[in-house]
Amino acid sequence: MAIRPRIDEERGLVELVFEGDISEQDLSDAIEKYVTEEYATLPLGLIDLTGVVSNDVPSELVRIAALRAAEAVDPKLPRGRLAIVATQDEMFGLARMYQILRDDSPVEVLVFRERGDALRWLGLPPEEE
């Protein structure tokens, strides 16, 4: 599995694109590397799960990811937004679980089926095709 990070400080966006098979270890590594570092410092986030082929991620790890992300957020920063794009039903369900677990966070989380919808919600222009 590959996780491609992209940090766009000008737009205040951290983007993580997940591709291939996701294992429990992959997600654990991503949490440690991205959630506790740059991810918590910019106001906008986009997680793209559309390239995931299959996953071996237990729902308990999604709960842990939500808790770790909540701990990493600086409450002094302005309220942020995180959009998650997931086209496959299984990944969409896991992303919705993450959203629900982050309901009381200063970061607003919403899950989308389409990347363009996610970008609009983040207040960013749609990408050229």
CATH of the domain at 11: 3.30.750.24
Residue 128 lies in a domain: no
Asked whether residue 10 is domain-assigned, the answer is yes
36 vs 126, residue with greater confidence:
126
- Asked, for residue 127, whether it belongs to a domain, the answer is no
- Provide the percentage of residues in the chain whose pLDDT is more than 90: 27
Checking DSSP bridges between strand 80-85 and strand 107-112, what pairing results, if any?
parallel
Give the per-residue pLDDT at 1: 65
Domain annotation covers residue 129:
no
* Overall domain count for the chain: 1
Task: Inform me whether the pLDDT recorded for 121 exceeds 80.
Answer: yes
Task: Determine the structural domain holding residue 91 and report its residue range.
Answer: 2-121
